Structure 1
């Protein structure tokens, strides 16, 4: 990448591009509704979605949030035609800054166990496998 990309918070006009990137890059799964996840992330100041632009087009994304103790990132994705240009690293650095400005000192993320390519990406950025198990339970919102 020759110049730092413009990275900003998502706008309403970006949503279609963001959803398309999530599908094209494989981070959107059938059991998640991307538009619902976007709305949920934007509903309060404790989370957001950051986008990196290539010209006027969204080229990479990261959903970032915090609970007051630790931060989490989701939907780290780069448009297939823009992969290999450093945009994944750039949005992760932007997510880290977003959290640091809020006083959050720990960042967690989830990677599917069989996704070796993505594990290597995060290891290259200085993340380590904590050798913990993530449990989940689906509950119905009230």
Structure 2
């Protein structure tokens, strides 16, 4: 798998992958999420390609204190091929270069498969409660 930064030409393929992976929600417009990401650290919006097909994504954001990883997705027919691990390893490498001390992520509590994936990568559950407030309705 080749890992590179997202290009606007990837938009439809990325949204299709996110839908296949069950990441698209009615309250988050994926096109707007992509447009917003392209205004802040677009180089940290990663895609993984095999045979000119996007098979993995990770949208990474560093605020100078912590990182959030969103939209980590791997195509259903490409799972088990280590693409998710490769993408996270590349994200961690880039973040270390930036001096980032910690990565945060939100995982739906009932998503046992994804929780196990991150635990295999060395991530642990923080003793924190996640809060949010929507400022712009999509």
TM-score by length of 2: 0.94
List per-residue Cα deviations over 1:76-133 (Å, max 9, x = no partner). Answer: 0011111111101111111111211111110000001111111100000000001210
Gaps of 5+ in 2: none
Distance 1:134 1:27 in 2: 18
Gaps of 5+ in 1: none
List per-residue Cα deviations over 1:28-66 (Å, max 9, x = no partner). Answer: 111111111111111123763100111101000000011
Aligned partner (choices 5, 12, 18) of residue 8 of structure 2:
12
Paired residues for 1:55-134 under 5 Å: 55-134=51-130
Distance 1:47 1:30 in 2: 26
Distance 1:46 1:23 in 2: 21
Number of residue pairs the alignment of both structures matches:
137
TM-score by length of 1: 0.91
Structure 1 runs (4+) deviating above 6 angstroms are none
Distance 1:6 1:55 in 2: 9
RMSD: 1.5
